[in-house]
Amino acid sequence: MFAHSCMGANKKTGTAMIYIFIFLLLLPLSAFSSAFPSPATPISTEVDQMYYFIHVLSLGCGLLIVGAFILFAVLYRRKNNSQATATVHHNAWLEWTWSIIPFFIFMFMFAWGWLVYDKMRTPYKNALEIHVYGQMWNWDYVYKNGRKTAEALYVPVNTPVKLIMTSRDVIHSFYVPAFRIKQDVLPNRYTALWFKATRKGLFNIFCTEYCGTGHYSMLSKVHVMSLEDWEKWISTDPYEGLSMVEIGQKVFRGRCTACHQTTTQKMIGPGLAGIFGSVRHFEEQDSLTADENYIRESILNPSVRIVKDFPDQMTPFAGLLQEEEMTGLVEYIKSLKPEK
């Protein structure tokens, strides 16, 4: 009996210490929330305001609860072993109060959250529509006039844009931190997102659904331009005035860098410098000297020959490239020389 009550008191102070410790540990974390990329859409400002409200409120409540906890632990602790343990009954007034106040706080957060969410999810009727395709491990974009891009999503500033998204393989998730918008992208189905960028510039796009080995490199950018620039951009030939190698480089940056380096360094796929004209070895134990046809086949139907010691994981590009992009890639890969 004696020893038991002693242990109880120790346990209490022990728990209190743990709480205080965790609390002190978490407190500075709140300062890092200002490390978010600065808002670039009206909705991101609203999301932030709500986030900070909930954050500060939780911090306040946390302080209040832990503060009371410590205060009571000190004031009402059992001072010696002859002291009888207090018999505490319920207190209806107190219990109603601590139920009703949080209820209203939660309902307020719910209503606010709902309003912001509704605004975030309901696209403008006449938004500019762009189709987005996700695949292991890059994004590509198709505009209404048939123009395609893979190195970035190009949009005009101050214009509502609706993205109609689908995946060519597994589940991906389209996330633009500076816009505070995110949506899963699924095969055999369309999902949508909309935004209105209020600042010109480049903004990061991440895939936030773990989608395989190359998930980390499934990166892209939103390129926000002035409306005049965008209108000029959308109606010009993307490859006008570029040499074959330059066209190839542009396509490569958009669609191949998730898996290939332009050096001899391997990533998910082999480094491509110096492969042209060299002997390639395959899983099937055969080999050949890489020529234009081999490069072309490697890009369009990569599963025909699997490079030795590499997985059969390359996206087949058959149907995804225009002829000038194909020839551009062949010439670009031919131009990649191993660094001396």
Give 160: exposed, middle or buried? Use CB within 10 Å, 0-12, 13-18, 19+: middle
Q: Does 330 bind Cu ion (CB under 5 A)?
A: no
Identify what 207 binds: Cu ion, ligand HEC, none; CB under 5 to 8 Å per kind. Answer: Cu ion
Q: Does 211 bind ligand HEC (CB under 6 A)?
A: no
Q: Does 336 bind Cu ion (CB under 5 A)?
A: no
Annotate 284-340 with DSSP letters as a single string.
TS-EEE--HHHHHHHHH-GGGSPBTTS-S-PPP-TTTS-HHHHHHHHHHHHH-PPP-
Interacting residues of 120 by C-beta distance below 8 A, sequence separation 6+: 43, 47, 181
Q: Does 275 bind ligand HEC (CB under 6 A)?
A: yes
Q: Does 132 bind Cu ion (CB under 5 A)?
A: no
Q: Does 306 bind ligand HEC (CB under 6 A)?
A: yes
The nearer residue to Cu ion, 128 or 258, going by C-beta atoms, is 258
Binding-site residue total for Cu ion (CB under 5 A)? 4
The nearer residue to ligand HEC, 185 or 333, going by C-beta atoms, is 333
In the list 47, 136, 155, 193, the residue contacting ligand HEC (rule: CB under 6 A) is: 136
Q: Is the dihedral of CA 239, 242, 243, 247 positive or negative?
A: negative
CA separation for the pair 174, 190 (Å, rounded): 13
Q: Does 307 bind ligand HEC (CB under 6 A)?
A: yes
What are the start-end ranges of the E strands in 69-176? 128-135, 138-143, 148-149, 153-156, 160-167, 172-176
Residue 134 beta carbon to Cu ion: minimum distance, rounded to whole angstroms: 6
Site residues (vs ligand HEC, CB under 6 A): 136-137, 214, 252, 255-256, 258-260, 268-270, 272, 275, 280, 290, 295, 298-299, 302, 306-307, 310-315, 317, 329, 333
